[in-house]
Amino acid sequence: MTAPQHYPDAVEELVGAFRQLPGIGRRGAERLVLAMLNWEPENLRLLGKLIAGLPESVGRCPECGMLANAGELCFICRQPARDATTVCVVENASQVIAIESSGNFRGRYHVLGGRLSPLDAENGSGLNLPALIDLANSGRVKEIILALSPDVEGRATAIYLAELLKDAPVKVTQPALGLPAGANLSFADGATITAALNGRTVLGGGRHGE
């Protein structure tokens, strides 16, 4: 049975659009839309313009896959002082920001753009893997840190990547201490991430740069 519609069509449509965002339910979406109805028309038009322009103005860094201005390097890859021999592999852009907030890591990143889902039998076809494999075999990298969330999907992805990189001439490690099982790396605090990175351990049995 279809729920009754209490608001005008345009409001209901926008509520439905906001509900597609993570963490936004029906009531939260309603509050957002009703609050926006009190905005000045020019502010609403500006918001619409910013949203509509996202596909053209935001892209992926050609070096690491991090979010960046379209056609440009991200804020990390623009820093020549970063240690290019150490690469931290993460699932998404928010995890880059979380690790950067710790102030402890001075290497570079590789953003996968997702992770494996064992229940869906994914094989990594949608992830940014070819560039990672090329990087691992380039001879320019000494260590690859698989800094993935310690939940089921994150662990499955780490195991998959360790196997994929086992013959590459790099050391493959993962964060050890500080990250509780089932946690999402995006929401870990700086001190926790620092402890995890400092306590990283070798993962897998590849050549590890020898």
Give the pLDDT confidence of 11-67 residue by residue, as tens digits: 999 999 999 999 999 999 999 999 999 999 999 999 999 999 999 999 999 999 999
Q: What does the longest C-alpha to C-alpha distance in the chain come to?
A: 67
Q: What is the pTM of this model?
A: 0.77
Copy the structure tokens of residue 85. Answer: 């021999």
Q: Would you say residue 205 has pLDDT above 70?
A: no
Domain annotation for the chain: domains and CATH numbers: 9-52 (1.10.8.420), 59-202 (3.40.1360.10)
Indicate the SS3 state at residue 87: strand
Query: Contact at 8 Å (CB) between 152 and 125?
Result: no
Q: Would you say residue 208 has pLDDT above 70?
A: no
Give the pLDDT confidence of 147-195 residue by residue, as tens digits: 998 888 888 899 899 999 999 999 999 886 554 544 555 555 555 566 5
